[in-house]
Amino acid sequence: MIAECEKLGFEFVGISDHSKSAYYAGGLTEERLIQQWREIDELQKKFKIKILKGSEVDILPDGSLDYPDDVLSKFDFVIASIHSKFKMTEEEATERILKAMRNPYVTIIGHPTGRLLLGRDGYPVNMKRIIDEASKLGVAIEFNANPHRLDIDWRFINYAKKKGVKISINPDAHAIGEIHYTLLSLGTARKGMLTKEDVLNAMNLDEVQNFLKKRRENS
């Protein structure tokens, strides 16, 4: 995947495997994380592209995160996402995400409705409250580019723009070919009036690192 991203001309790439509760998706224990970080350090010696160490961390039913803060603090970025207990009221789902977002190490809220197009409805969530809080905290919101998700829904992108919330277009790639989802999804993102200036990962590396630094300083 690193080689493919470098071939595509990307300046940086983020590695964000699932956290330990997502065992069904190969989620990483703390011990396996350490091993992955060592592997990334070795790969960094071989590639010019900057490799950022991240994780897609499960938001647990009570809104807490799947790793403790002493682990979260070691990542370059953290995507917080719901992958379990989807049967919630709008208030429960919204508060669950808001609590996770308030953790100072959370950088991005992933696929905020959890929907799978033509497969599973998203859980009810008050997206404007999520966006308002993201604006306050300096948290980005993912536009998951997997064609089965396309989540955040494009109809909320313009509201996020107006609130100054950065959108992170992520391929959710579990295979090399899926990296291209990032590019294939742009037409849908543009329906929400998304422009390059609104996209976190359209920034250059220095700008992204400043964004990540500012997020932690604001917490």
For 125-154, the pLDDT digits (tens) are 999 999 999 999 999 999 999 999 999 999
- Identity of the residue numbered 101: M
Distance CA(160)–CA(198), nearest Å, equals: 9
Residue 66: count other Cβ atoms within 10 Å of its Cβ.
21
CB 108 within 8 Å of CB 130 = no
- Nearest CA to 219 out of 138, 148, 135 is that of 138
Query: Is the torsion defined by CA of 157, 127, 16, 148 positive or negative?
Result: negative
218 pLDDT tier (thresholds 50, 70, 90): confident
The tens digit of pLDDT for each residue in 159-204 reads: 999 999 999 999 999 999 999 999 889 999 999 999 999 999 999 9
So what's the pLDDT on residue 2?
A: 96
Q: What is the pLDDT of residue 175?
A: 93
**CA–CA dist 176, 119 (Å, integer):** 24
Look up the pTM and report it: 0.95
Per-residue pLDDT band for 217 (boundaries 50, 70, 90) equals confident
The mean pLDDT of the chain is: 96
* HEC secondary structure over the chain: CHHHHHHCCCCEEEEEEEECCCHHHCCECHHHHHHHHHHHHHHHCCCCCEEEEEEEEEECCCCCECCCHHHHCCCCEEEEECCCCCCCCHHHHHHHHHHHHCCCCCCEECCCCCCECCCECCCCCCHHHHHHHHHHHCCEEEEECCCCCCECCHHHHHHHHHCCCCEEEECCCCCHHHHHHHHHCHHHHHHCCCCHHHEHHHCCHHHHHHHHHHHHHCC
Query: Which of 11-25, 64-78, 96-110, 129-143 is the least confident region?
Result: 11-25
pLDDT of 25 strictly over 80: no
Task: Give the mean model confidence (pLDDT) for residues 107-112.
Answer: 98
Higher per-residue pLDDT: 63 or 216: 63
Instruction: Say what the pLDDT of residue 95 is.
Output: 99
- Domain range list for the chain: 54-217
At residue 90, does pLDDT exceed 80? yes
pLDDT at 64 over 80: yes
Q: Tokens representing 59?
A: 């938001």
Per-residue pLDDT band for 24 (boundaries 50, 70, 90) equals confident
- What architecture does CATH give domain 54-217? Alpha-Beta Barrel (3.20)
Has residue 219 got a pLDDT over 70? no
